[in-house]
Amino acid sequence: MVILEVGLGGRLDATNIVDADVAVITSIALDHTDWLGPDRESIGREKAGIFRAEKPAIVGEPEMPATIADVAQETGALLRRRGVDWRYEVTATHWAFTDGDGTLAGLPLPQVPQPNAATALAALRASRLNIDEQAIRDGIAQATLPGRFQIVSESPRVIFDVAHNPHAAEYLTGRLKMLPKRGRVLAVIGMLHDKDIAGTLAWLKSVVDDWYCAPLEGPRGATAEQLLEHLGKGNVYDSVAQAWQAAIDAAQPEDTVLVCGSFHTVAHVMEVIDAGRIGGE
């Protein structure tokens, strides 16, 4: 089995040279609008460019733009929509998945975002690969995704999340609110200036108590001062490493230190932590 991740959009992405047996659209967010178009309808059409005739096209976006259905009809793809052709239900301890082939109940809660796990399962079942049910359950329980609500330590709790647009920030906010309330939330954040900074921070402001703003290197990096303009209050540092160290120094055992805003931000902190481990050996 070969799994290819589209880099940007779909229709014009290099991976689209491959005629995939199953195409998957996980979600539709207003990101990369300079390339994909200004709205969800435009972005949906670009992403649906990976559909192929008579091949399953799995859509995990619950509010699917009509353009995706249009492309499916134009190409003859076999559209499989969340909430229509497949669905899932979650309880406190397990979840269940249902599609045209029946129901898988008592599934273990995944460590990755629940919608992503369900969408992956929909794609797997549509592929008609002969996968043992226990292997599916084991895969769901064991799958991890670094940088996506990745809890790397406790006391203080440290969470890495690369959320860099409003859609991802909404999900991150929801996950933080689900955690047992304890202490304060200190956020180390750096973002790219061509992202929707205001929309992203609007979600996170409801769960973050103290901000540690840092610039990102390169021409696309936003300055710490630019982030502060949208926050109104917070601490400004010259680098991600400095912001991280300040947050860790200020955190109490019951607090949460959240590192977010960009893949670059999380990667920088990971490098600092790894360097500290190597230096201490």
CATH number, domain at 75?
Answer: 3.40.1190.10
Q: Determine the Cα angle at 122 with ends 132 and 60, to 5°.
A: 155
98 in the same domain as 67: yes
Domain end: 142, 168, 203, which one?
A: 142
127 assigned to some structural domain = yes
Residues 6+ apart with CB under 8 A from 180: none
Say if CB 252 and CB 153 are below 8 A apart.
no
213 in the same domain as 113: no
130 in the same domain as 159: no
111 in the same domain as 136: yes
203 in the same domain as 126: no
d(CA 245, CA 206): 23
173 assigned to some structural domain = yes
169 in the same domain as 137: no
The total number of structural domains in the chain stands at 2
Give me the residue label for tokens 């049910």: 133
110 assigned to some structural domain = yes
247 in the same domain as 156: yes
Determine whether 96 is exposed, middle or buried from the number of CB atoms within 10 Å of its CB (0-12, 13-18, 19+).
Answer: middle
Range of 27's domain?
Answer: 14-142
d(CA 90, CA 107): 9
2 assigned to some structural domain = no
The model's pTM is 0.76
Q: Using DSSP, how many helices (H) and how many strands (E) does the chain show? A: 10, 12
Q: In the Cβ-directed half-sphere of 21, how many Cα atoms lie within 13 Å?
A: 10
165 in the same domain as 82: no
68 assigned to some structural domain = yes
d(CA 83, CA 142): 26
For residue 5 the two structure tokens come to 């991740």
Q: What is the pLDDT along the chain (281 residues), one digit of tens a residue?
A: 899 999 889 999 999 999 999 999 999 987 888 888 999 999 999 999 999 999 999 999 999 999 999 999 999 999 999 999 999 999 989 999 999 999 999 999 998 889 999 999 999 999 999 999 999 999 999 998 889 899 999 999 999 999 999 989 998 999 899 888 889 999 999 999 999 999 999 999 999 999 999 999 999 999 999 999 999 999 999 999 999 999 999 999 999 999 999 999 999 999 998 887 654 44
CATH number, domain at 169?
Answer: 3.90.190.20
User: Partners of 56 in the beta sheet?
Assistant: 78
Say if CB 224 and CB 246 are below 8 A apart.
no
Give me the residue label for tokens 């021409």: 219
234 assigned to some structural domain = yes
57 assigned to some structural domain = yes
Write out 41-89 in H/E/C secondary structure: HHHHHHHHHHCCCCCEEEECCCCCCHHHHHHHHHHCCEEEEECCCEEEE
Domain end: 89, 114, 142, which one?
A: 142
193 in the same domain as 102: no
8 assigned to some structural domain = no
187 in the same domain as 94: no
Phi/psi at 89 (5° precision): -130, 140
The tens digit of pLDDT for each residue in 166-188 reads: 989 998 999 899 888 889 999 99
Say if CB 133 and CB 104 are below 8 A apart.
yes
171 in the same domain as 59: no
Domain end: 142, 164, 193, which one?
A: 142
Read off the amino acid at residue 156.
P
Residues 6+ apart with CB under 8 A from 161: 147, 148, 149, 150, 168, 172, 258, 259, 260, 266
88 in the same domain as 115: yes
